[in-house]
A and B are shown apart, each in its own frame.
Chain A
C-alpha cells in the first residue's frame, strides 16, 4: 500500500514541471501541453485524496476537469491557428497586441 503523501508529492512535482514549462517556453503549443500537465497533476491529487477518504467526490471533480480541458484545448488550438493565419508566426514574444 503506497501512502497518499507519495502521490501528493508526485503530483506536486508534475505541477511544478508544468509551471516551469509555461514560464520558460516560447511556443504556445508547448505552453498548452504544459497546461495539460498541470491539469493532470491536479487530477492525480484529486483522485489520491478521494481514495484516501473513501469518497467519490474526487473522481467527480476529475470528470468535470477532463471536460473543461477538452473544451479549452479545442478553443485554444483554434486561436493559435487563427493567429498563425493572421501574423505568420506563433512566437509568444511577437504576439503582443494585447500587451499594455
Chain B
C-alpha cells in the first residue's frame, strides 16, 4: 500500500474516533464509530487479512452497531433527556491523559525496536485468505481448535445471559 493512502485512512480513523468521544449525541457517536470501524477494516485488507476485514465489516459495523443503535432508540423513546451528556469534557485532564498514554507507547517502542519484517510478498499474499484462516483454525496440529469450541460455549452463555437480563420481570 502506498504511504499517502495510509495517511488519508489514518487521518479519517483518528478523526472519527476523536469525534466518538467529543460528540454529545450518542447516535452521532455510533455513526462516527462505524466510520472508524470501516477504516480499520480497510487497514486489515492492506495488511493481507482479507477474511478478518470481511468479518470486521459484518460483525462490528453490522451487528454490533445495529445493537447499539437499537438500545439508543429504545431508551430514547421512553426518556429523551436521559441520554444527554451532562458533564463537560475537562480539556486539561483530557490532553494530559493523551500525552501520557502516547508518550508511554512511543517510549516502549523505542526501548524494544522491531526487527526487520519477515514477510515476503509471497507469504503476504496467502496469509489472510479464507483457506489459510480455515486451515489454521481447524488444524489438529495447531492449538486453535479447542479455543474455538470454548468460544461456542461463551456465545451460548452470552445469549442466555442477554435474554435473562432483558426479560421483563413478571410480578
Contacts and interface: CB of A to CB of B under 8 A. Distances in A.
Contacts of B59: 66, 70
A13 B46 CA distance: 19
A32 to B, nearest CB: 7
Interface string A2-31: 101111111011111111110111110110
Interface in A62-100: 62-64, 66-75, 77-82, 84-85, 88-91, 93
Interface residues on B, range: 35 or more
A73 B37 CA distance: 15
Contacts of A79: 165
Contact of B102 (A12, A21, A29): A12
Contact of B155 (A21, A71, A78): A71
Interface in B39-88: 40, 43-44, 46-49, 51-52, 55-56, 59-60, 63-64, 67-68, 71-72, 74-75, 78-79, 82-83, 85-87
B106 A30 contact: no
A81 to B, nearest CB: 5
A36 B164 CA distance: 23
A19 B82 CA distance: 23
A77 B136 contact: no
10 contacts: A2-B3, A4-B114, A10-B10, A13-B14, A14-B14, A17-B21, A50-B127, A67-B154, A70-B158, A91-B82
Top 8 nearest A-B pairs (CB, nearest first) are A78-B165, A71-B158, A12-B105, A21-B21, A16-B101, A78-B162, A54-B119, A56-B136
